[in-house]
């Protein structure tokens, strides 16, 4: 395969990883979410915690994803930047929208951005670190708007 073919193949595999994560979140499957991370992978959202490793990830997502009548995470757009100096590393940025209804009937809508670090682990791309920054959060009648974060690296 040429370098271009490798690059395209890697980007497609990373895009599939991001889609698998959103699919698992929408199915409310914390074990499947945890499996998209490397063994000591980290998910960062300061308001909710910073779990590291499959056990902590499963536990946090188990708590976050229970008590919903419906929950759907949709990908809006994203970019992948392969690391030119290390073929087993990449970064990405993904805009997402989440819609749902909690079991008490409260409507939920979040739009935000993920800042990702990927690692090829035993031939499979996984998240090493995934940070979520909400940009628009509506829970019931309360809405919070936050600016795009300024402390993230450019792609």
Domain ranges of the chain: 3-145
Q: Which class is domain 3-145?
A: alpha beta
Distance of alpha carbon 92 from alpha carbon 80, whole angstroms: 4
How many residues in the chain? 155
- Give, in order, the Cα–Cα distances in Å from 146 to each of 34, 98, 109: 27, 16, 14
Please, is 92 exposed, middle or buried when counting C-beta atoms within 10 Å of its C-beta (0-12, 13-18, 19+)? buried
pLDDT in tens, the chain (155 residues): 688 899 999 999 999 999 999 999 999 999 999 999 999 999 999 888 899 999 999 999 999 999 999 999 999 999 999 999 999 999 999 999 999 999 999 999 999 999 999 999 999 999 999 999 999 999 999 999 999 999 998 99
Distance of alpha carbon 126 from alpha carbon 118, whole angstroms: 6
Question: Which of 114, 107, 148 lies closest to 19 in space, CA to CA?
Answer: 114
Distance of alpha carbon 43 from alpha carbon 38, whole angstroms: 11
Distance of alpha carbon 95 from alpha carbon 141, whole angstroms: 23
The model's pTM = 0.94
Tell me the three state secondary structure of residue 15. helix
């Amino acid at each position: 395969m040429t370098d271009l073919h490798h690059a395209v193949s890697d980007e497609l595999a990373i895009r599939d990883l991001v889609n698998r994560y959103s699919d698992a979140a929408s199915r409310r499957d914390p074990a499947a979410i945890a499996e998209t991370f490397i063994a000591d992978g980290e998910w960062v959202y300061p308001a909710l915690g910073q779990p590291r490793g499959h056990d902590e990830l499963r536990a946090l997502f188990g708590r976050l994803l229970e008590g919903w009548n419906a929950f759907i995470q949709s990908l809006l757009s994203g970019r992948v930047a392969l690391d030119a100096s290390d073929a087993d590393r990449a970064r990405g940025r993904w805009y997402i929208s989440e819609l749902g209804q909690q079991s008490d009937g409260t409507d939920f809508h979040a739009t935000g951005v993920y800042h990702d670090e990927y690692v090829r682990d035993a031939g499979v791309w996984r998240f090493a670190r995934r940070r979520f920054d909400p940009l628009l959060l509506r829970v019931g009648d309360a809405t919070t708007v936050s600016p795009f974060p300024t402390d993230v690296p450019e792609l």
